[in-house]
Amino acid sequence: MKYLNVLIILVLMIICPIFGHNLQAQDLEMEGTPQTPDLVTLADANIELNTEMAHAAKFYTDLMWAVYCGTGEQNIRKSKAAYDTLIKAFEVDDASSTTSDKVVSRHDRSFVYTERATLRFNTLQNIKGAEDDVRKAIELNPENVPATWLLAQILTRRVFSSIQENRRDTRAQALQEEMLVVLKRVIELDPDHHRAHFYLGTMARDLDQIELAITSFKALTRIMPYDDQFHKELGELYEMQNRLEEALQSYERVVTILPEQISARNRLGQLYLQTGDYSAAIETFLVILTQLETQANGQDNTGRSTVQTRARAAIEASEAEIEAHHGMSLAYQAQDNFEKSEFHIIRVISLLDEKARSIRGGTRRTRGNERIALTRRIRDARYTLGQIYLRFSVPRKAVDTFAKILATDAKYVPALSGIGMAYQMLDDLKRAEIYLRKAIELSSRNELPDVYNALGYLYAEQGVNLDEAAKLVQRALKSSPTSGAYLDSLGFIYFKQGKLDAAIENLELAIHYLPNTPEILLHLADAYRQKGLKEKALQALEQAIQLEPDNTEFRQKFEVFKAD
C-alpha cells in the first residue's frame, strides 16, 4: 500500500475545492446576493501522476476488480484471471526494480497470493495450486493470518484423507506434525481464532494428543463461553483421562447453558454415580424424567413436524428414559434402598420389552439386528435385577429372575453363576453345586472368581471336597488378592481341614480388609477357640454381638465359649 495514501490525498485535493466552491455559492444565494465565484488557479499545481504512482493506481484498480469479481459465482473465472494478471505484473516489477523501488509492497503481494489461493481452494478445488500460492503468501508476509489459516485448512484436509486411507507411513506422520505446527502458528498470531482452536482440538483428539485437545477446547470455552458444544467436548476429553471432577464441571456448564440438553444431563448423572455422589445422581435423573414427561404432554400436534422427526424424537426420549431409570437403580442400590433400586430396574426391563414389541419397518435384517440387540439389553437388565436380589438377600426372586434369562440362553454363564449363588443362599446345596459347576465348565477361557469362591465355600459348609475347595478359592484370590470375602472362605476351609494357623492367618487378613463383618468374626472366633485362644475368641464374639445385638446365635455361642 505504498502509494495508496498519496492517491487518496490527490483525490481529496481535486474534489475538496469543488465542494468548497459549491458550498460558498449556496451560502451566497441564501444571502440574496447570487454571484459566480472566480476560479482560483493554484500556483505550481501538478495533478498528473508520475510513472510509479500511475503503476500503483493501476494495481489497486485491478485489485479492486479482482476482489469484486470474486464476490459473484458467475465471475469467479474473471477474478482468477485478474489475480493471474496481477501476479504476472509482480514478475515484471521484480525484473525492472530493485527491492527498495518495488511499487507493490510484500504485504500487498502476500494479500494477492492469499486471495488467489482462497479462490483455488474453496471454489476451483485446485488444492495443489492453492497450497503453492499460500506458501508464497506466507513467505512474503510470515504474519499473514488468513494465509496461515488457509494453509492449516489445506494440511488438515490432507491429514484427514491420510487417516481415512489408514496411512501410517513417514510422510503421513510428517504431514500431521506440520499441520499441528501451522495450526499453533495461527493461534500464536491470533489467540482468539476460534476456528483454528476447533481444528486443532479436533485433530489432536483424533490423533490421541488429548492434552493438546483439552488446551484448545478450554480456549474455545473462553472465547465462546455460551456455546454448550465446546463444554461438552471438553467434558468428553476429561473423561478420556479419567479426570472426573473436571468432566463434571464441564457437563454442569452444558446443562446450565442448555437445560433441555437431556443427553448431557444423562452423562452428568453417570458421572455423579462414578464419583459417588448418589444424591446428585438421583436428582439429575429425576430432572430428566420430569423433562421427558413434560415433552410427552406437550407434543406438537400441529402436524408441522415430519413423521420421521417425531419417530426419531420418540426413540431418543425412550433411550433417555431407559438410561435415567437404570442410573437411578444403581444410585439407590448404592444407598442400600432395595425397593427403589428394584422399581427402577424393573422399569428399564419394561421399557425395553415395549421397544422389542414395537419394532417394525426397515429391512428384515435390520429388524433382526435390532431384536438381537434388545434381547441382549433385556438379558443384561434382568441380570442386574438378579444381582440386586442377591445383594439384598432375596434369593427366591433371584432364582426366578435368573431362570428367565436361562430360559432363552441356557449357557449364559453369569446367570448360571447367579442362580447357583441364589440356591446356595436357600440352602439348596445340590442345585447350587450343579449350576456353579456348569458355570465353571462353560467358562474355560474366563476367570470367574465369585463362582470359584462360592463353590469352594459351598464345599466347606458341607465339609466335603475340601482340597478342591481350597484350590477353587485360591484361584479366586489370584484375581483379587485383597478380597476379604475370598480370604474368609479360604480361612474357613483351612479351619475345616484342621489347619488352624493357616485359618487364623487368612481370617485375620479377611477382617483387616472387611472390618466389622460379623460372619468373619464368627469364623475367627471358632478358629481361636479351636487353637485354645479363649480370650481372643471371646473378644471376636463380643465385637460381633456389638454389630448385631439381636443375633441370638452369637449370644449363645458367647455363653458356650465363656463357660469352657
* CATH number of the domain enclosing 550: 1.25.40.10
Region 249-253 average pLDDT: 96
| pLDDT tens digits along 412-454 | 999 999 999 999 999 999 999 999 999 999 886 667 899 999 9
Residue 559 lies in a domain: yes
- The model carries a pTM of 0.73
Let me know if residue 101 belongs to a domain: no
| Rounded CA separation 403/418 (Å) | 10
Per-residue model confidence (pLDDT) at position 3 = 43
Instruction: Find the domain containing 511 and state its range.
Output: 447-452+464-564
- Ranking 24-33, 44-53, 308-317, 330-339 by mean pLDDT, the lowest is 24-33
Q: How many C-beta atoms surround the C-beta of residue 254 within 10 A?
A: 25
Q: Per the domain annotation, does 533 fall within a domain? A: yes
The average confidence (pLDDT) of the chain is: 85
C-alpha grid cell, residue 303? 402436524
Task: Say if residues 66 and 86 touch (Cβ distance below 8 Å).
Answer: yes
CA distances from 190 to 107, 153, 184 (A): 17, 15, 10
Measured distance CA(544)–CA(558) in Å, rounded: 10
Helix (H/G/I), strand (E/B), else coil: 548 = coil
Q: Write the DSSP symbol of residue 536.
A: H
In this prediction, residues 325-343 reach a mean pLDDT of 97
DSSP calls for 90-125 = HHHHHHHS-GGG-SS-HHHHHHHHHHHHHHHHHTS-
Helix or strand or coil: residue 39? coil
What average pLDDT does this structure show over 518-527? Answer: 94
The C-alpha atoms of residue 437 and residue 232 are separated, in whole angstroms, by: 47
Per the structure block, which three cell numbers stand in for 206?
A: 483424533
Residue pair 492/522 in contact by the 8 Å Cβ criterion: no
Q: In this structure, is the dihedral angle defined by the CA atoms of residues 482, 486, 488 and 490, taken in order, positive or negative?
A: negative
User: CA-CA distance, 348 to 377, in Å (whole number)?
Assistant: 10
Cβ(475)–Cβ(452) under 8 Å? yes
- 27 has pLDDT over 50: no
| Separation between Cα atoms, residue 226 and residue 248, nearest integer Å | 17
Residue 490 within a domain:
yes
State the cell numbers at 448.
470367574
Tell me, yes or no, whether 480 lies in a domain.
yes
Instruction: Tell me if 457 sits within 8 A of 492, measured CB to CB.
Output: yes
**Where is pLDDT greater, at 286 or 49?**
286
For 533-550, what is the mean pLDDT? 91
Closest among 168, 160, 158, 108 to 131, alpha carbons compared: 158
What is the arithmetic mean of pLDDT over 174-180? 92
Q: Is residue 503 part of a domain?
A: yes
**Domain-located, residue 511:** yes
Q: Could you tell me if residue 438 is inside a domain?
A: no
DSSP state of 504: H
Is pLDDT at 13 greater than 50 in this prediction?
no
Confidence of residue 228 (pLDDT cuts 50, 70, 90): very high
Q: Domain count of the chain?
A: 1
